Every structure is written in structure tokens, then in C-alpha cells.
Amino acid sequence: MNLYAIKAIYRFEMARAWRTLTQSIISPVLSTSLYFVVFGAAIGSRIPEVEGVSYGSFIVPGLIMLSLLTQSIANASFGIYFPRFTGTIYEVLSAPVSYLEIVVAYVGAAASKSLILGTIILATAGLFVDIRIEHPLWMLLFFVLTAITFSLLGFIIGIWADGFEKLQLVPMLIVTPLTFLGGSFYSINMLPPFWQTVTLFNPVVYLVSGFRWSFYGIADVSPALSLGMTVFFLAACIVLVGWIFKTGYRLKP
């Protein structure tokens, strides 16, 4: 494996994040802090506890997951789309760099940015509410797997998109609504039985539930099922990325 090539692409992508620090880090952290103020303080005063956890603490995993999903997709999609837009991707493809090395570099950089952001948000949440992590290793596992999975999804979107507006299409119209409806701000056990069943078809439910279980030991679905679904999403993205490079979908001029 060409580690020098991976390192070069990785460092370039990480350097771009530091050049756009306000957009990459500061803006998402401030936005999430507003969620804590609005939902944690205003609504939390009317909902004392959810399954034995204060409402402000209860929404922390969901808010982190919301930022992790959207930022992983945004970082990875823009990271691969911009070289396609400028044409520099063909220089990378013609270089002695394998497809695996390209994916590892771009997805690794996007996942790294998201993990850094998620860690900052977790630390920021501690300023507003009390947080406990009952299963730290499981929390780290869900954290890393989710960042990698949705960075791969963002990589796919960046190759599929043929305009800047399409980069926002999936995150804004699909991922964000699914996250809000996936138990980020409530337990699905609070819903009527029919809507509980409908909600289980939302894939984000399994991500949020497993992540929340690692914090407080409470979950809407089995933690094993949450982990299994996360691995399934990861495998599906890997297969799709493999197909893209095998066929040259939107990569060949």
C-alpha cells in the first residue's frame, strides 16, 4: 500500500479543514449549542426525565449523532466532488495510487474531521448538562463506525452529484429529517404502537439508539441489533464504492 500517497491526500484534506475552521468546526458547534439551549432548557423544563434520564442529558447522544451524520457526509462529499469539478481527480486516478488508497485517504480525512467535531460537541455538552458514559468502548465503537460509514456515503454522494446543489440534497432532505424522526429528541417508546412500528423502518433509529445505550444503558432497540445494522450500512457503502471504481461511474471523462 502506498502510504505516502495516502498521507499526502489525507494531509491536504485536513489542511483544508483548518483553512475553513469557522465553517468546519465553529459553526456546527455553535448550532449544536443552540439546540442545548432551546431543547435542553426551554423544553427540558417541561419534560423532567425520559426513562430516568434528564431531558437535557437524554438528547446529547442524538445531537452528537446529528452532527456526526451531517458533517461526515458534507466533508466527504465536498472532498471528492471538488477535485471532480476542477478536473484534478484525473491526475490522482492516473497516478500510481490504487482505488483503495484513494478511498482510505479521502474517507479517513472526512471521518477524522467528524470525530474531532463530535468530540468537541461532547465536551461542550458537558458545560450544559450532566453526562455519564456507562460503556465507553461501545461508545467509541459506534462513534468511529458511524463516522466511517457516513463518510463513505458522502464519498458516494460526491461522485454522484453533478452540481453543488446536489451535495446538499441528501443531507438536507433525507438524512436530517430521518435523524429528527429517529429518536434523537425523544424515545420511540413514547409513540403510539403504530408509529413505533413505522419508526423502526428508519435506519437512523438504530444508530441513535445504540449510541444512547453506550451513554446511559437505555435503548429503543437491542444494542446488538444497532451494531449489526451499523455494520450492515458500512458493508453496503463499501460494496457501492467498489462498484463505482470497478465501473468508473462518473469518474471516466
Percent of the chain with pLDDT over 90: 49
pLDDT over threshold 70, residue 42: no
* Residue 253 within a domain: no
Structural domain count, the chain: 1
Q: How many angstroms separate the Cα of 223 from the Cα of each of 131, 169, 175, 208?
A: 19, 30, 21, 10
- Encode pLDDT of 109-164 as tens digits: 999 999 999 999 999 888 888 889 999 999 999 999 999 999 999 999 999 988 88
DSSP bridge partners of 49: 54
**181-192 b/e with 16+ CB inside 10 Å = b?**
bbbbbbbbeeee
Q: Burial of 123 by CB count in 10 Å (0-12 exposed, 13-18 middle, 19+ buried)?
A: exposed
* Residue 189 within a domain: yes
Where is average pLDDT lowest: 97-106, 125-134, 236-245? 125-134
Kindly report the average pLDDT of the chain as a whole number.
88
Q: How many angstroms separate the Cα of 5 from the Cα of each of 60, 99, 101, 104?
A: 37, 11, 7, 10
Q: Which domain holds residue 213?
A: 3-247
Residue the block writes with cell 442545548: 36
* Residue 252 within a domain: no
Give the global pTM: 0.91
**Average pLDDT over every residue of 26-45:** 75
* Residue 241 within a domain: yes
- Residue 239 or 42, more confident: 239
